[in-house]
Structure 1
Amino acid sequence: MSAADEILDIVDENDRVIGQAPRGRVYGEGLRHRCVFVRARDAEGRVFVHRRTPTKLVFPSLYDMFVGGVVGAGESYDDAALREAEEELGVSGLPRPEFLFKFLYDAGPGGSWWSAVYEVRCELPVHPQVEEVAWHRFLPEEEIAQRLSEWEWVPDGLAAHERLRAHRATG
């Protein structure tokens, strides 16, 4: 089964499941679905940052400070967060990512998905998927802040980053 054939839950503005469709149709028709964003930190607290491959369906060749992806039909956010983090980092045996918050990402018609944000400590050597990750490094927060204006970042990851900063400021 190709990624485009993967079945996803379609959700409404309140994150209630209203149907299911293959990923290719979800993306092609801009149907609202579910995604997870996992901030992975190493033993020194640095954040895993990567550049997506040019073959990615969504946001090819852009930088991201989260690993993650779509939540499969019937899959929980928590299970998707662990699965996606292990897949993208190329590890197994990660601790379960800690749920932080959820928000509705909305970039206008056809660009809306429920987004659950997590954090996980990854002290294992990473071996990112070559199909997903063109470049990677663990970077300190200060360097990420500097690179925000220099690199082209995935817009949903930037939205998650801004909300995470606000979440930490109030929490």
Structure 2
Amino acid sequence: MAMYSAEGEVVGSTTRRRMRAEGLWHAASAILVRSGDRVYVHRRTDDKDVFPGMHDCWAGGVVAAGETPWDCAERELAEELGITGVPLVPLFTASADVDGTRIHLFAHEVWWDGDIVLQESEIAWGGWMTFAELRSKLADPSWPFVPDGRIAIEEFFRRELDR
């Protein structure tokens, strides 16, 4: 996987194991799938190594060594949700340190009304929610939601919906 500096520059590559063990900076692409006033939300499988069984509204994953965040976004969107051939729209980049996980999130959105095919090894459930429903769920501290996904959706609300 690509290793990043705290400033967001690629500085080398490392293994996922080392990145997690040492809390190294890395990058991930995050893609918000939208349809009208709805967003696609999913629950991670219970055997994921990070945040198992938690909900998220971003498809995506870690940027591989030699891969750009854009290429990662296209790859992850196809792998996780079966969505291809749709234009990605860049939204923002956010950096976070969540319990020693240091990450630069490259956020994008896509508009999609077609079929969604879940990657069963990573996603246990998925469905559409309005942004109001998602906000209501996020207000409940007992609803298990991925911490970096929460940071990204709150940034999205601040930038895009709360203007």
Distance 1:119 1:90 in 2: 15
Are the counterparts in 1 of residues 40 and 129 from structure 2 also a CA contact under 8 Å?
yes
Q: Which amino acid aligns with 1:85?
A: L
Q: Is 1:105 paired with 2:103?
A: no
The sequence identity of aligned pairs, in percent, is 35
Cα RMSD of the aligned pairs, angstroms, is 1.6
TM-score, with structure 1 as normaliser: 0.87
Structure 1 unaligned residues grouped into runs of 5+: 1-7
The 5-angstrom pairing of residues 14-163 of structure 1 reads: 14-42=7-35, 44-93=36-85, 95-108=86-99, 110-148=100-138, 149=140, 151-163=143-155
Deviations 1:62-120 (A, max 9, x none): 00011111111121111111111111112332x13111110111125x31111111100
* 1:170 Cα deviation after fit: 7.2
Q: Provide runs of 4+ in structure 1 moved above 4 Å.
A: none
Are the counterparts in 1 of residues 24 and 102 from structure 2 also a CA contact under 8 Å?
yes
TM-score, with structure 2 as normaliser: 0.91
Distance 1:83 1:123 in 2: 19
SS of the residue 1:124 aligns to: coil
Structure 2 unaligned residues grouped into runs of 5+: none
SS of the residue 1:57 aligns to: coil
Aligned length: 161
